[in-house]
Amino acid sequence: MKGAQFLVKALEREGVEVIFGYPGGAIMPVYDALIDSKIRHILVRHEQAAALAADGYARASGKVGVCMATSGPGATNLVTGIANAYMDSVPVVAITGQVATNLMGTDAFQEVDIFGITLPVVKHSFLVRTAAELPEIVHEAFRIARSGRPGPVLIDLPKDIANTVAGYEFDANGKGEVTAAPSNESIAYALELLRKSERPVAYVGGGVGMANALAELKTFIETTSIPFVATLKGLGSISTKHELALGMMGMHGMKAANHAVQESDLLICIGARFDDRATGRLNGFAPHAKVIHLDVDAAEIGKLRHAEAPVAGNLRDSLKALACQLNIEPWRRKCLAMKEATQWDYDAPGSQVYAPDFLRRLSERAGENCIVACDVGQHQMWVAQHFHFTNPAQHLTSGGLGTMGFGLPAAIGAQFAFPDATVINVSGDGSIMMNLQEFATLRRYELPVKVVLFDNSALGMVRQWQELFHDRRYSEVDLSDNPDFALVAQSMGLTSFRVDRRQDVDGAIDQLLAARGPVLAHVIIHQEANVWPIVGPGKSNSEMMDEVTL
């Protein structure tokens, strides 16, 4: 067989069902081999969308997502999506074509060193040197991508290797990776801190879902009765409606969540990394708290905040070992009272659509099994604050990299992972333009993705920062020359409609959810609507701003 056939057969061995990609010269032998494969190739309209769709597929399904592009610009267009997967620890295998080996280093047509370009944003890279090694490379790439702390892996395949004929041999060679259990000593000290604490708070991150430790986390929380907060990626690790859920923490966190963390005497950090968007000013974060830090990646423990009790290892084992009954009833009552006192008021003035209220109503009507893929901006924070999640795989959002244009391709990936699911893409008028071409992908495959586009004719989050922290000196945020998005969607084969009055919201949600194919709801909101609360730059999480404090 040719090397390209080796590659495809090896992907089949790994159980790959879907590849997102875009063809070109150097990768053409692989596309030829795909014709004879059962693997389904999804033609996106931009390579960045291929990488982001693979990311969304992986987040929703728990499987390794696969994307593919040709050399040169095809490969470089994947880089943002690869970096996005790296920052959020998502298992993706990216396959790129490369110029023939005798041309490498000659500045040949469509040659770039994608191996070197992606080194900072992959777990591992392979430059294929012989066709015979392809089966083992593919097997190892998938193992690396999904083991330990997940992440993206690159396979760069020169065109002459893809065309080389050789005998196919496969030996899984028994390699594997078992995540170590936490040490007895670390667990013993963590238990000691837990039992001595009076005001503990659990700080839940995206690592819990990746570790498939949702059941263990729920048992830990309900056994200890510890109130918990979540990062953007940790939302849904336990139902956001759970009695002890205080909400998202951080820059746009809920008041009860941030205040509880700031008052705590013990912070149990579970699969999180003390990201700046979660902590605010780091030296002012949870100033009275000792830290128990649970993480599969020992390099994260103590990287930004000293942990009195570092617990490296499998989160499932760690949480099981730490589930103990505590006497913290006065603290629990105080946190729940704070949560009750700071409940959101959805009765905003005016007749225009109020985005938090729209999302709350959509969440109630869509049910607990829908999947929401967000773009980046104000709407992303409103989803995190006001949508209800029971599993982190329902909430696909670009956390670490903050990639505008993520949402629509991610929704496409999720819809292929779960064809019968209700998949919703929540976007803004800035983000949607980043990958608007993927409306054509929705139409080509008749994907019933439901797009909610909040349009305030501005780059909303940037405008908000310029209003609050740059003396209203607005620079390059005006998008008043937006196209009519409903008409654009219709021209690309989507059903679409516009809603601009609050009294029409319920009917719009009914129309959105009842649509059988791809549909766009073009939702007009006030340009000066802001995300509240907000922690300003250089401030601690105890210094939250809202409309009242301005």
Q: Does residue 326 sit in the same domain as residue 458? A: no
Determine, yes or no, domain membership for 548. no
Identify the CA nearest to 410 among candidates 56, 41, 48.
56
Determine, yes or no, domain membership for 542. no
And the tokens for 510?
Answer: 């009914």
Q: Does residue 379 sit in the same domain as residue 470? A: yes
The total of structural domains in the chain comes to 3
Using alpha carbons only, give the angle 74, 77, 78 rounded to the nearest 5 degrees.
Answer: 95
CATH classification of the domain holding 13: 3.40.50.970
Q: Does residue 312 sit in the same domain as residue 435? A: no
And the tokens for 468?
Answer: 């609050």
47: annotated active-site residue? yes
Q: Which of 163, 192, 217 corresponds to the end of one domain?
A: 163
Q: Does residue 44 sit in the same domain as residue 140? A: yes
Residue type at 16? V
Q: Does residue 288 sit in the same domain as residue 437? A: no
Determine, yes or no, domain membership for 103. yes
- Note down pLDDT in tens along the chain; length 550 residues: 899 999 999 999 999 999 999 999 999 999 999 999 999 999 999 999 999 999 999 999 999 999 999 999 999 999 999 999 999 999 999 999 999 999 999 999 999 999 999 999 999 999 999 999 999 999 999 999 999 999 999 999 999 999 999 887 777 665 556 667 788 999 999 999 999 999 999 999 999 999 999 999 999 999 999 999 999 999 999 999 999 999 999 999 999 999 999 999 999 999 999 999 999 999 999 999 999 999 999 999 999 999 999 999 999 999 999 999 999 999 999 999 999 999 999 988 889 999 999 999 999 999 888 999 999 999 999 999 999 999 999 999 999 999 999 999 999 999 999 999 999 999 999 999 999 999 999 999 999 999 999 999 999 999 999 999 999 999 999 999 999 999 999 999 999 999 999 999 999 999 999 999 999 999 999 999 999 999 999 999 999 998 765 5
d(CA 133, CA 142) in angstroms, rounded, equals: 15
Q: Does residue 294 sit in the same domain as residue 412? A: no
Determine, yes or no, domain membership for 544. no
Q: Does residue 16 sit in the same domain as residue 135? A: yes
> What are the counts of helices (DSSP H) followed by strands (DSSP E) for the chain?
21, 20
Query: What are 367's strand-pairing partners?
Result: none
Residue type at 321? A
Q: Does residue 333 sit in the same domain as residue 274? A: yes
Determine, yes or no, domain membership for 482. yes
Residue type at 505? V
| Residue 469, C-beta contacts closer than 8 angstroms, at least 6 positions apart | 536, 537
Confidence at residue 541, expressed as pLDDT on a 0 to 100 scale: 95
Q: Does residue 151 sit in the same domain as residue 229? A: no
Q: Does residue 325 sit in the same domain as residue 359? A: no
Q: Which of 306, 341, 376 corresponds to the end of one domain?
A: 341
Q: Which of 6, 47, 63, 216 is catalytic?
A: 47
Using alpha carbons only, give the angle 25, 29, 33 rounded to the nearest 5 degrees.
Answer: 140
Determine, yes or no, domain membership for 61. yes
Q: Which of 132, 163, 194 corresponds to the end of one domain?
A: 163
Percent helix, percent strand, percent coil in the chain, to nearest 5: 40, 20, 40
110: annotated active-site residue? yes
Q: Which of 159, 233, 255, 339 is catalytic?
A: 159
Q: Which of 254, 461, 492, 544 is catalytic?
A: 461
Q: Which of 12, 14, 104, 110 is catalytic?
A: 110
d(CA 319, CA 332) in angstroms, rounded, equals: 20
Residue type at 410? A
Handedness of CA 248, 254, 258, 261 (dihedral sign): negative
418: annotated active-site residue? no
Residue type at 154? L
Query: What are 425's strand-pairing partners?
Result: 373, 451
Q: Does residue 126 sit in the same domain as residue 255? A: no
Determine, yes or no, domain membership for 168. no
> For residue 58, what are the domain limits?
3-163
Residue type at 247? G
Determine, yes or no, domain membership for 129. yes
Q: Does residue 198 sit in the same domain as residue 325? A: yes
And the tokens for 38?
Answer: 């059962």
